[in-house]
Amino acid sequence: MNPQIRAVTGDLPAPGDRVPSPYRTFSRQEWAELRADTPMTLIESEVLRLRGLNQDLSIDEVVDIYLPLSRLLSLYVNATQDLFKATRYFLGARDGKVPYIIGIAGSVAVGKSTTSRVLQALLTRWPNTPKVDLVTTDGFLYPNAVLERENLMHRKGFPESFDVAALLKFLSRIKAGERNVAAPLYSHFAYDVLPPDQVVVVDNPDILIVEGLNVLQPGRLPRDGKAVPFVSDYFDFSVYIDADKETLERWYVERFMTLRQTAFRDPGAYFHRYSTLTDEESVATARDIWRRINLVNLEENILPTRQRADLILTKGEQHLIEEVALRKL
């Protein structure tokens, strides 16, 4: 069979077949050049704001990688909104705005939260100053009480630990243009979902960034003839952040060591007991959690979703993006 037809029909290619990649791949340098002639300078207050998001973030990284990405996204958002306006015009409708939703996926500790916050800051600086909101899917984890009852505490972050129905309902309300839609919040300090009086309210943004381990995972197969959507059915664009497993383990352990000297010191922290461990015991504990839980989840449930993303950002050892792959098909 013609390899192109094979790619479309989903048949496995035979050895030696060359199936065209759906991605166009850029080196760091090539990607940085895609700034074109758009003004890409950051004013002092923006640099300070970005530094405040993460002290380790390199401003070169923002300029070379994230500014071109925010330029691309701005073009995509405008094109999608024009299409929406055309439909509204055709239907004779006057009101309504549908938020553009960007999904950000990847392993625990790959830098999803940091990237999302950088993108949020950069997207708001475009001339039409869009309102950009951010939601993390860990708020949709079942509370510890439920996970304990179902014997799922050691499966936190796995597909079965999330209330996917609630996440889908949240996204459908956002896409329906509803205002003031609440999303639950997760606290790493409490290691649990916060009570319902502490939520994030999403009020009809131009852009919503949805970040989490599970955002590109497939849904259940339809039951009783009822189609169950995927979370990503609500996305207009998706990003997968990638890095080597060994590097990810190091970042996880480093973050754990920092938390041990900061947040875990507070007697109210769920993991307060870790603050009294020696350095060696802490590294061993973090590695054990990584290998038993987060690495298994990465291999079984997260990495297999990488090829579903519109954009894959591959990081090197110091969090610098080394390669960018943009879906062209």
Ligand X SMILES: Nc1ncnc2c1ncn2[C@@H]1O[C@H](COP(=O)(O)OP(=O)(O)O)[C@@H](O)[C@H]1O
Binding positions for ligand X, rule: CB under 6 A? 54, 56-57, 61, 106, 108-114, 251, 255, 319
> Binding residue for ligand PAZ (CB under 6 A) from 166, 283, 289, 296?
289
**Residue whose CB is less far from ligand X, 65 or 202:** 65
Q: Which does 56 bind (CB under 5 to 8 A by kind): ligand PAZ, ligand X, none?
A: ligand X
Q: Taking the complex as a whole, how short is the minimal distance between the CB of residue 212 and ligand PAZ, in angstroms?
A: 6
**Calpha distance 144→153 (Å, rounded):** 7
- Six token digits for residue 72: 């691309």
Question: 3-state DSSP helix/strand/coil percent for the chain, to nearest 5?
Answer: 50, 15, 35
Q: Which does 172 bind (CB under 5 to 8 A by kind): ligand X, ligand PAZ, none?
A: none
Q: Which does 212 bind (CB under 5 to 8 A by kind): ligand PAZ, ligand X, none?
A: ligand PAZ
Confirm or reject binding of residue 103 to ligand PAZ (CB under 6 A): no
> Binding residue for ligand PAZ (CB under 6 A) from 111, 130, 184, 212?
212
Closest to 199 measured CA to CA, from 227, 170, 225, 233: 170
Q: Which does 251 bind (CB under 5 to 8 A by kind): ligand X, ligand PAZ, none?
A: ligand X
> Binding residue for ligand PAZ (CB under 6 A) from 156, 260, 308, 319?
156
**Torsion angles phi and psi, residue 177, rounded to 5:** 80, 15
- Six token digits for residue 174: 């956002």
Angle, helix 279-289 to helix 245-261, in steps of 10 degrees: 130
Closest to 237 measured CA to CA, from 78, 131, 50: 78
**Calpha distance 67→124 (Å, rounded):** 12
For residue 172, what are the contacts with CB-CB under 8 A and spacing of at least 6?
229, 234
Please say whether the beta carbons of 99 and 208 come within 8 A.
yes
**Calpha distance 274→265 (Å, rounded):** 8
Is 109 among the annotated ligand-binding positions?
yes
Is 227 among the annotated ligand-binding positions?
no
Is 182 among the annotated ligand-binding positions?
no
Q: Taking the complex as a whole, how short is the minimal distance between the CB of residue 136 and ligand X, in angstroms?
A: 8
Q: Taking the complex as a whole, how short is the minimal distance between the CB of residue 286 and ligand PAZ, in angstroms?
A: 8
Is 110 among the annotated ligand-binding positions?
yes
> Binding residue for ligand PAZ (CB under 6 A) from 7, 199, 283, 293?
293
Is 107 among the annotated ligand-binding positions?
yes
- Per-residue contact flags (x/-) with ligand PAZ for residues 125 to 144, judged by CB under 6 A: -------------x------
Q: Which does 54 bind (CB under 5 to 8 A by kind): ligand X, ligand PAZ, none?
A: ligand X
Q: How far is CA 143 from CA 36, 190, 217, 293, in A?
A: 47, 11, 21, 18
**Torsion angles phi and psi, residue 12, rounded to 5:** -70, 135
Is 108 among the annotated ligand-binding positions?
yes
Residue 244 CB coordination number (10 Å): 12
> Binding residue for ligand PAZ (CB under 6 A) from 42, 108, 216, 259?
108
Bind-site residues for ATP: 106-113
